[in-house]
Amino acid sequence: MPEGAPSRFDAREVVRVTTLAEHGRVEIEFGGPQEARYVVSLPVSTAVELGCLICDLSDEAPYLIGGARRPPRPPD
């Protein structure tokens, strides 16, 4: 981050997700207030791990945004 910039960016949307296969990375561009944009570049393995964490969280997502809570998943 630029010197003096806040250490936290409160994104409002995901603008794009791009794979950079030749570099083994995934880029996620976030948009925020006043047209601010930040790009996060992750190794593919870290991006996959993040995706799995988001999927786990998504079971609760409808509840978090005011929807109905799903019943718990049965064990595998």
Please, are residues 41 and 26 in contact by the beta-carbon 8 Å criterion?
A: yes
Grade residue 39 by pLDDT with cuts at 50, 70 and 90: very high
Distance CA 27, CA 37 (A): 12
The terminus-to-terminus CA distance of the chain in angstroms comes to 42
pTM: 0.67
| Span 56-61, average pLDDT | 68
At 36 the pLDDT is 93
| Span 4-33, average pLDDT | 91
Task: Establish how many alpha carbons lie within 13 A of residue 68's alpha carbon, considering only the half-sphere containing its beta carbon.
Answer: 3
